[in-house]
Amino acid sequence: MCKKVIFSYYTEWSAPVPAFSDASRAENIIPCSKEDACTQWQPNLIVVKKQLWAIWCQEGNSSAYYGAYFSYLSNIDEKWTSKRLMWKAPNGSLDYHVWIDGFAFSIFPTQDPIQTLSTGRILAPATLTQVQNKSIKIDTVLITNDYGATWTFSNGHCVTGIENTNAQWEPTVIHSYFPFMINIQE
Residue 1's pLDDT is 43
Inter-residue contact 143 to 122 (CB < 8 Å): yes
Read off the pLDDT of each residue in 65-82 and give the average, rounded to a whole number: 92
pTM: 0.81
Which residues lie closer than 8 Å to 75 by C-beta, 6 or more apart? none
Select from 119, 100, 110, 114 the least CA-distant residue to 158: 100
Instruction: Give the residue, 144 or 111, on which the prediction is more confident.
Output: 144
Instruction: Give the residue, 17 or 110, on which the prediction is more confident.
Output: 110
Is the predicted pLDDT of residue 53 greater than 50, yes or no? yes
- Per-residue pLDDT of 100-123, as tens digits, reads 989 999 999 988 888 888 889 999
Inter-residue contact 97 to 105 (CB < 8 Å): yes
Q: In angstroms, what is the C-alpha Rg of the chain? A: 17
Band the pLDDT of 12: cuts 50, 70, 90.
confident
Mean pLDDT comparison of 8-17, 30-39, 66-75, highest-scoring range? 66-75
Inter-residue contact 73 to 25 (CB < 8 Å): no
Going through 31-113 in order, the beta strands assigned E by DSSP cover 39-48, 51-59, 67-73, 81-84, 87-88, 94-95, 98-100, 103-109
